[in-house]
Amino acid sequence: HRINVESAAEMHTAAQTCFSGVDAAILCAAVADYRPETVADKKIKREKEEELTLHLRATKDIAAGLGAAKRKDQLLVGFALETNNEQQNAEGKLERKNFDFIVLNSLNDAGAGFRHDTNKISIIDRKGRTDYPLKTKTEVARDIIDHLATALKTSCL
């Protein structure tokens, strides 16, 4: 079942609506953390060489909201794209958002991340960290699903 959305607010509503009916959720969308405070209804014309200031408001934290609503019989998977303090930041996010495991992506690994057909991940859960070698993104997706399937088998579902 797919629900098309165009904004972080719409995604938040859709995720909150659907979450209670699932065994597991993989939160793989890169949702913007901020949105413009106001949206212009027409083109903003350049006025000389003056500065333009944009005021931003935080979007609702979809992952934190689902983590707070998560039942004991549900699993929640998140992602962390990090450039520094990778392990510490990913573990912090795992705890704050109440994830069952988090997929750590590093932009520091050659051949991984954006603009590549390959990626190198680590999966961190409360038992520890599993590092995977550089693989195609299809193989990485299989690793994530395999980890989730194992977690579902060993959970209270």
pLDDT digits (tens, 9 = 90+) for 44-80: 888 777 888 999 999 999 999 999 999 999 999 999 9
In the chain, what percentage of residues exceed pLDDT 90?
75
- Give the pLDDT score at 112: 81
Indicate the pLDDT class of residue 156, thresholds 50, 70 and 90: low
**What average pLDDT does this structure show over 15-27?**
95
For residue 119, which amino acid is it?
A: N
What is the total residue count of the chain? 157
Beta bridge partners of 24: 75
In CATH terms, the fold of domain 8-31+53-154 is Rossmann fold (3.40.50)
Under DSSP, is residue 120 helix (H, G, I), strand (E, B) or coil?
Answer: coil
Domain chopping of the chain, boundaries: 8-31+53-154
Question: Rounded to whole angstroms, how far apart are CA atoms 126 and 124?
Answer: 7
Indicate the pLDDT class of residue 153, thresholds 50, 70 and 90: very high
Mean pLDDT of the chain: 92
Backbone region of residue 124 per phi and psi (left: phi > 0; alpha: psi in -120 to 50; beta: other values): beta
The answer to whether residue 35 scores a pLDDT higher than 70 is yes
Contact 26, 144 (CB under 8 A): yes
DSSP state of 40: -
- Give the pLDDT score at 157: 46
Phi/psi at 136 (nearest 5 deg)? -65, 155
